[in-house]
């Protein structure tokens, strides 16, 4: 029996302009779930995500990283992506397999150019999206301005689920208008105390709660009728309505964070567990020949390779998502693109540069395998007797072909045509 079935696996991608705090947030998520015992930081060059020397030197992510965490009965696969536009290929391949995007907004800078560029890709994939306003502990943070900018750029479908009671150095309280509670953190962050909303915040919280309900109800006729009848929706109705609206790309709930102080990541993970769609709640994939590939763990095995890297002393590591069936170690799968039969000898759960062997991965899950003979990014492997080939990731054309560099980090467009530089 797998530890998590398909409906208990969530795949999220962390997105946002460079420096918005994605890698720091991923670190909080791993720490809160007990996957790591100490929270690394960008300054100390010891985060789980930014493990490459070059990333640590620059203080920026360059490659996307697969991480996973377990939170209250759910497995959350997290893909941390680089924010710089130069590495947008990493964002696109992650969006191909993620079921929800978490777009970080820097509360000091508001919506930045990188936010807009990445947003355009999320629109193409119709990825369900959450916004998370980060760096609320910064003295120059401006939550209201950030929300105004988000609505101006991405529409009024951006709905506030949380707002900070204060920002800057004294930031320690988040008011949640879905749960109608206040989360109060101690200096070290982590697990907050849940308290009733204080009297002086009640009017604002109730107004935002009403806005949230109306936004949810306006996307669903049955909920609208219930709202007219009762003047309220209960928490489950709101959650289900939000999920449906997120899947349809109609609503984008907005949360509050200070990743640096580890405030807000637990509630965000709870929302991912309870509201964000799992892969079997998303529209099914269609193969090139028009067949529907249903995300069902008991169906025929089908995996899609979204990224391949060469690891020193290890060889080729292929990252994949299971789109159908259950992949087990020892299984033989056919590569529709190259025609070879591959033996999946080892399966791994991934935590940055650490790998844990596992025996099986169910439909909807993401993992990695080693040493495939003739399988590359964009290939589909499937059970014998099928001819599934899933749509490829379309990488943008390179604007510069780096033929004069000594070494090139080929992440913008893996296998870039015309690139003659040795790769690292």
Ligand X SMILES: Nc1nc2c(ncn2[C@@H]2O[C@H](COP(=O)(O)OP(=O)(O)OP(=O)(O)O)[C@@H](O)[C@H]2O)c(=O)[nH]1
| Binding positions for Mg ion, rule: CB under 5 A | 22-23, 61
Cβ contact 100:11 at 8 Å:
yes
Q: What kind and span of H or E run contains 266?
A: helix 265-274
285 token code pair: 């994939």
Identified binder of ligand X from the candidate list 4, 10, 13, 20, rule CB under 6 A: 20
Residue 55 Cβ vs ligand X, minimum distance, rounded to whole Å: 8
The tokens 């929706």 sit on which residue?
233
Residue 291 Cβ vs ligand X, minimum distance, rounded to whole Å: 38
Which residue's CB is nearer to Mg ion, number 61 or number 324?
A: 61
What is the distance between the alpha carbons of residues 216 and 418, in angstroms, rounded to a whole number? 49
Cβ contact 303:367 at 8 Å:
no
Q: CA triplet 13, 15, 19: central angle to 5 degrees?
A: 135
Identified binder of ligand X from the candidate list 40, 51, 68, 82, rule CB under 6 A: 82
Contact flag: residue 137 with ligand X (CB under 6 A): yes
Q: Which does 110 bind (CB under 5 to 8 A by kind): ligand X, Mg ion, none?
A: none
Q: Which does 7 bind (CB under 5 to 8 A by kind): ligand X, Mg ion, none?
A: none
Strands 193-195 and 181-184: antiparallel
Which residue's CB is nearer to ligand X, number 19 or number 277?
A: 19
* Candidates 38-46, 209-217, 235-243, 296-304; binding stretch for ligand X (CB under 6 A): 38-46
Q: What kind and span of H or E run contains 205?
A: helix 199-217
The tokens 């991912």 sit on which residue?
272
What is the distance between the alpha carbons of residues 381 and 87, in angstroms, rounded to a whole number? 27
What is the distance between the alpha carbons of residues 105 and 264, in angstroms, rounded to a whole number? 14
161 to 190, contacts with ligand X by CB under 6 A? none
Residues in binding contact with ligand X, number by CB under 6 A: 22
Identified binder of ligand X from the candidate list 30, 33, 42, 333, rule CB under 6 A: 42
Residue ranges of alpha helices (H) inside 248-373 are: 265-274
Which residue's CB is nearer to ligand X, number 136 or number 217?
A: 136
255 to 314, contacts with ligand X by CB under 6 A? 258-260
Which residue's CB is nearer to Mg ion, number 47 or number 379?
A: 47
Q: What is the DSSP string of 247-264?
A: HTT--EEEEE-BTTTTBS
Residue 24 Cβ vs Mg ion, minimum distance, rounded to whole Å: 8
* Candidates 134-142, 222-230, 337-345, 396-404; binding stretch for ligand X (CB under 6 A): 134-142
Exposed, middle or buried by CB within 10 Å (0-12, 13-18, 19+), for 180? middle
Which residue's CB is nearer to ligand X, number 135 or number 321?
A: 135
Identified binder of ligand X from the candidate list 8, 9, 11, 19, rule CB under 6 A: 19
Cα torsion 276, 277, 282, 287: sign: positive
Strands 252-256 and 354-358: unpaired
Contact flag: residue 16 with ligand X (CB under 6 A): yes
Contact flag: residue 39 with ligand X (CB under 6 A): no
Q: Which does 264 bind (CB under 5 to 8 A by kind): Mg ion, ligand X, none?
A: none
* Candidates 15-23, 186-194, 224-232, 324-332; binding stretch for ligand X (CB under 6 A): 15-23
54 to 73, contacts with ligand X by CB under 6 A? 60-61
Cβ contact 253:274 at 8 Å:
no
116 token code pair: 């807009």
Residue 258 Cβ vs Mg ion, minimum distance, rounded to whole Å: 16
DSSP state of 64: -
Q: Which residues here bind ligand X, judged by CB under 6 A? A: 16, 18-24, 41-43, 60-61, 82-83, 134-135, 137-138, 258-260
């Amino acid at each position: 029996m797998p530890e998590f079935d398909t409906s208990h696996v969530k795949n999220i991608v962390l997105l946002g302009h460079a420096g918005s705090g994605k890698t720091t947030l991923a670190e909080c998520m791993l720490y809160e779930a007990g996957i790591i015992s100490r929270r690394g930081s960008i300054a100390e060059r010891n985060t789980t995500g930014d493990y490459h020397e070059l990333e640590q030197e620059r203080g920026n992510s360059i490659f996307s990283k697969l991480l996973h965490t377990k939170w209250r009965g759910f497995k959350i696969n997290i893909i941390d992506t680089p924010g710089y536009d130069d590495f947008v290929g990493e964002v696109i391949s992650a969006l191909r397999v993620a079921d929800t995007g978490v777009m970080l907004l820097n509360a000091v800078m508001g919506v930045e150019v990188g936010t807009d560029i990445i947003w355009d890709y999320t629109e193409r994939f119709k990825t369900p999206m959450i916004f998370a306003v980060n760096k609320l502990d910064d003295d120059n943070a401006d939550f209201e301005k950030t929300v105004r900018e988000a609505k101006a750029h991405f529409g009024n479908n951006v709905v506030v689920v949380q707002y900070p009671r204060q920002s800057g150095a004294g930031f320690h309280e988040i008011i949640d208008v879905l749960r109608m509670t206040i989360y109060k953190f101690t200096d070290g962050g982590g697990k907050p105390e849940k308290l009733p909303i204080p009297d002086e915040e009640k009017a604002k919280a109730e107004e935002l709660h009403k806005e949230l309900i109306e936004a949810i109800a306006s996307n669903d006729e049955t909920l609208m009728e219930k709202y007219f009848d009762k003047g309220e929706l209960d928490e489950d109705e709101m959650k289900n309505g939000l999920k449906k609206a997120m899947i349809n790309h109609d609503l984008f709930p907005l949360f509050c964070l200070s990743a640096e102080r580890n405030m807000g990541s637990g509630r965000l993970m709870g929302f991912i567990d309870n509201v964000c769609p799992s892969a079997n709640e998303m529209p099914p994939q269609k193969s090139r020949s028009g067949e529907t590939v249903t995300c069902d763990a008991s169906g025929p095995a089908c995996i899609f390779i979204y990224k391949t890297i060469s690891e020193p002393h290890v060889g080729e590591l292929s990252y994949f998502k299971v789109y159908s069936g259950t992949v087990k170690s020892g299984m033989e799968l056919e590569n529709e693109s190259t025609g070879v039969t591959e033996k999946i000898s080892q399966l791994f759960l991934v935590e940055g540069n650490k790998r844990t062997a596992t025996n099986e991965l169910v439909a909807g899950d993401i993992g990695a395998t080693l040493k495939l003979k003739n399988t590359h990014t964009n290939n589909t492997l499937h059970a014998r007797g099928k001819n599934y080939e899933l749509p490829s990731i379309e990488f943008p054309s390179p604007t510069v072909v780096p033929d004069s560099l000594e070494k090139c980090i080929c992440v913008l467009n893996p296998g870039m045509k015309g690139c003659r530089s040795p790769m690292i």
